[in-house]
Structure 1
Amino acid sequence: MTQTLSLRRPDDWHVHLRDGETMNAVLRYTTRQFARAIVMPNLKPPVTTAALARAYRERIIAALEPDAQFTPLMTAYLCDKTPADELRRGFEEGVFTAVKLYPAGATTHSEFGVTSTAKVGKALEAMQAIGMPLLIHGESTDPTVDVFDREAVFIETVLQPLLMEFPALKVVMEHITTEEAADFVSADTSGRLAATVTPQHLIFSRNALFTGGIRPHHYCLPVLKRERHRLALRRAATSGDPRFFLGTDSAPHQRVLKESSCGCAGIFNAPGALQSYLMVFDEEGALDRFEAFASVNGARFYGLRLNEGRITLQRHPSEVPEDIFLPGGGAIHPFLGGTFLPWTLVEQGAESS
């Protein structure tokens, strides 16, 4: 049995760092594990321009711990009227790494999102021409569609037509949750379609939402699905297929908001993210494929260099903190908070020059 695992320092290809005191409290949990992260733009107000992205990046860098070696990769929040030139300029200047498409009303702070892909055609044409990836929250917002079917319906009614209309557009299906999504990505042969997978969707099915009562800290969007979907995601993530890679979708909300009538959608999994993923790969007998999922596949899809630094994990129990306290009061309850994970992050190597 493997006791120690060393791998290239990984990246998180989907994370919510928030802003202000919340960002200051949670940022270190991402930067201690990951060399880079795709930072989501759904702030209030959203990050819709290169100037806003540049300013947000500067706030993130200013909040880093003194010894942190971390690069935030910024995204643009796509709106119905986003100018194509703004995306092109931000990408060519190295401010934007990608564009995030939220269907309007699909998730947290998505009210400014896209109401119809027909309204963003010029933006997508420009992105296709310059190789700028589109990151999609893939859920139908049709109110007649069952919440557990929204991803599958989105693939059929929105994503398939979009991929046909823009045959060279690079697309990441963010935080996939269903067998249909895993199969759709696996069947693609174009090389321009990929997907991120979260730890919560690998570890829990929708039963976890109702075990012994309502469990608000297991509520996220897309919502947890049936057991067959969880097993399909585990097969895809641990298969070695380069189209699947790590994206935590770590999304902190204060405990008081999670445990209220709001029941905010989002799971803050950053404190034990890498150990959670590794636990899944260990259970599936796929430790030899973990480095590709965590450290290689995403970078290659985005056309970025692989990290030179290394990290080491040891088979030794590590406790996920029960709560993360904010300086101004309040607390955030992490995913699996108060429990022990079987692996511990014990060493981080420096980045090579």
Structure 2
Amino acid sequence: MTTLTLRRPDDWHLHLRDGAMLEGVLPETARHFARAIIMPNLVPPVVRSTDAQAYRDRIDAALPAGMTFTPLMTLYLTEDSDPDDFATAYESGVINAVKLYPAGATTNSASGVRDFDKVRPVLERMAEIGLTLCVHGEVTDPDIDIFDREAVFIDRVLDPIRRATPGLRVTMEHITTSDAVDYVTDTAGHIGATITTHHLMINRNHMLVGGIRPHYYCLPVVKRATHQQALRKAAVSGNPRFFLGTDSAPHTDDNKETACGCAGVFSASNTMACLAHVFEEEGALDKLEGFASLFGPAHYGLEPNVETITLERSDEAIPYPAKIETGAGPVTLFDPGHPLHWRVLD
């Protein structure tokens, strides 16, 4: 196969930041993706409906002329969140989901949840109105090894929340383990999971063997190769509970290449080429449209995009830029570690 046409994809987990960084990275997503769930972990975070509306306005203002892109906004769940404000924001179309960050789990998560009992009224209201909870699924207990935090979160936090709040719609975001794959596959209820481009392509050996590679450092951290293989199997399975969320997360190089570097992989520019590579390796190019373009909209109760994109395979390696220059500084693009032979045709 040398060309592949599919409905225009969406990104169900995206960081755009703000200001000069937003202006620099937004075109990289809008070039290929029609819509994206926008993460609310700004400083200060997007916690009220007015915050989400203002952030959406800034995104729309930053979109270059001639590009079409719809930001799907989220609110940041805190222990002080107002159920009425969340309900109004959802019912008026300002937001599409709410994001749960356990406090301290990842970038700009200090305002997240420590005591989950304090957010039960919000979760119950969300279940009543069908508002989706997007979950960063890691515990932050210092006695839990960083490679085990996702599995422990499922047992200690997520499953009890779902049992206590029947009907709650959940997206497990950027899953990284076979434990998460099994939980999403085997449990009842409205639950789905996003899988990132980079977690399909790298494991912890790529990040650590032969020297530390800071541009592979993300949270949740990449795991063993066996978990990577479980993610690949889920992505190409055709199971509609698994769909694309890149978690593309730009940081300037000086914030990545330092003694205490930021977590995040920026992959917006070459995600579709990387995915075509993975699905071709797995003999499943016919499953790419479902993963990238169909299953996410269905999970969120939206129609798939009408317009299409076409990917082309070349015998020669396709050059992709090493960095994206932004007004905030250079941002290194995800390097899969081998040549890419796919590209999206203009």
TM-score, structure 2 normalization: 0.98
SS in 2 for 1:48: coil
Structure 2 match to 1:56:
55
Unaligned runs of 5+ in 1: 348-353
Q: Match for residue 241 of structure 1? A: 239
- Inter-partner Cα distance in structure 2 for 1:171 and 1:240: 19
Q: 3-state SS of the aligned residue for 2:222?
A: coil
Deviation at 1:188, TM superposition (A): 2.1
Aligned partners of 2:337 and 2:154: how far apart in 1? 37
Structure-2 residue corresponding to 1:161: 160
- Corresponding residue for 2:170? 171
Is 1:319 matched with 2:295?
A: no
| Cα-to-partner distance string for 1:137-191 (whole Å, 9 max, x where unaligned) | 000111100000000000010011011011100000000000000011010232x
CA deviation vs aligned residue, 1:228-287 (integer Å, no higher than 9, x gap): 000000000100000000000000000011001121000001110111111111100011
What is residue 10 of structure 2 aligned with on the other side? 11
In 2, Cα distance between equivalents of 1:232 and 1:201:
10
How far residue 67 of structure 1 moved from its aligned partner, in angstroms, is: 1.0
Contact 1:103 1:137 in 2 (8 A): yes
1:298 is aligned to: 296
Please give the residue correspondences for 1:77-92 in structure 2 after superposition, counting only pairs within 5 Å: 77-92=76-91
Separation in structure 2 between the aligned mates of residue 295 and residue 236 of structure 1, nearest angstrom: 16
- Return the TM-score normalized by structure 1: 0.96
Distance 2:178 2:337 in 1: 31
Residue by residue over 1:101-137, the C-alpha shift from the partner in whole angstroms, topping out at 9 and shown as x without a partner, is 0000000000000112211001001100000000000
SS of 2:12's partner is strand
| Preserved contact between residue 3 and residue 313 of structure 2 (Cα < 8 Å) | yes
The 5-angstrom pairing of residues 38-53 of structure 1 reads 38-53=37-52
Secondary structure of the corresponding residue to residue 318 of structure 1: coil
Deviation at 1:338, TM superposition (A): 9.1
Instruction: Give the distance between the partners of 1:165 and 1:123, measured in 2 at CA.
Output: 13
Distance 2:223 2:265 in 1: 15
Map 1:1-353; keep pairs closer than 5 Å: 2-190=1-189, 192-316=190-314, 317-327=317-327, 330-336=329-335, 340-347=339-346
8 Å Cα contact 1:323/1:337 also seen in 2: no
Separation of aligned partners in 2, 1:52 and 1:318: 40
Q: Retained in 2: the 8 A contact 1:324–1:331?
A: yes
Counterpart contact for 1:14–1:39, Cα < 8 Å: yes
| Deviation digits for residues 200-233 of structure 1 (CA, Å, limit 9, x no counterpart) | 1111110011132111000000000001000000
| 1:323 partner amino acid | K
Return the alpha-carbon distance in structure 2 between the equivalents of residues 247 and 166 of structure 1: 25
Tell me, yes or no, if the aligned pair for 2:100 and 2:113 is still in contact at 8 Å: yes
In the aligned structure 1, how far is the partner of 2:271 from the partner of 2:94?
A: 27
Cα distance in 2 between the residues matched to 1:25 and 1:69: 16
Residue by residue over 1:5-36, the C-alpha shift from the partner in whole angstroms, topping out at 9 and shown as x without a partner, is 00000100000000000010100110011000
Question: Do the aligned residues in 2 keep the contact of 1:320 with 1:339 (CA within 8 Å)?
Answer: no
* Contact map agreement 2:274 2:336 (CA 8 A) in 1: no
How far off its partner does 1:73 sit? Answer: 0.2
Structure 2 unaligned blocks of 5 or more:
none
* Cα deviation code 1:55-99 (max 9, x no counterpart): 100110011111111100000000011010110010011001000
Aligned residues: percent identity?
Answer: 53
Shift of 1:326: 2.2
- For residues 245 and 290 of structure 1, the distance between their equivalents in structure 2, rounded to whole angstroms, comes to 10
Partners of 1:337 and 1:142 lie apart in 2 by 32
- Change in Cα spacing, 1:276 to 1:149, as seen in structure 2 (3 Å) is same
Equivalent pairs, count: 344
Per the alignment, in what secondary structure is the counterpart of residue 100 of structure 1?
strand
- In structure 2, the residue corresponding to 1:344 is in which secondary structure? strand
Partner Cα distance (2:142, 2:105) in 1:
10
* Structure 1 residue 339, shift from structure 2 partner: 6.2
The one-letter code matched in structure 2 to 1:181 is: A
CA RMSD, aligned part only?
Answer: 1.1
Aligned residue number for residue 350 of structure 1: none
Determine the C-alpha separation between the residues in 2 that align with 1:284 and 1:117.
40
